[in-house]
Amino acid sequence: MTRKGILDAAEACVCGQREQDYGSPEDNFRTIAELWRQYIQARCVGPGVLVDLVPDDVAAMMVLLKVGRIAGGSSSQDNWVDIAGYAACGGEIATKGAAE
């Protein structure tokens, strides 16, 4: 798969049906961040310790999940497409969609 093919596939994922199926990345990642925050607080750090996760953290950690799959031997092109998609969503969220 070429660079353009990966980017085109990622664009189709994050700008197409997935947003209709799951809602905006901002809203979906905000929900995931809150669930992860509660889990981390309960299982990893304990009550009273501040755990602050925001939607672009979710995007970054999903990229790391895909990197972990690649490191584990999965060279599926889907991992690379998903990394590009999560990076695009995270970048847009982190920059608040600022003009280029």
Say which residues have a Cβ less than 8 Å from residue 82's Cβ, sequence separation at least 6: 10, 13, 62, 66
For residue 61, what are the domain limits? 3-94
Query: Is the confidence at residue 99, as pLDDT, over 70?
Result: no
Query: Which pLDDT score, from 0 to 100, does residue 45 have?
Result: 93
Number of independent structural domains in the chain = 1
Taken in order 69, 71, 76, 81, the sign of the CA dihedral is positive
Residue 53: band (very low, low, confident or very high) from pLDDT cuts 50, 70, 90: very high
DSSP state of 76: -
Which of 73, 91, 84 is closest to 29 using CA atoms?
91
Q: Give domain status of residue 29, yes or no.
A: yes
Q: Give domain status of residue 100, yes or no.
A: no
What average pLDDT is seen over the chain? 92
User: Which residue type sits at 73?
Assistant: G
Query: Is the confidence at residue 71, as pLDDT, over 90?
Result: yes
Give the separation between CA 12 and CA 78, rounded to whole angstroms.
13
Say which residues have a Cβ less than 8 Å from residue 22's Cβ, sequence separation at least 6: 28
Query: Which pLDDT score, from 0 to 100, does residue 100 have?
Result: 62
Query: Which pLDDT score, from 0 to 100, does residue 17 have?
Result: 82
Q: Give domain status of residue 99, yes or no.
A: no
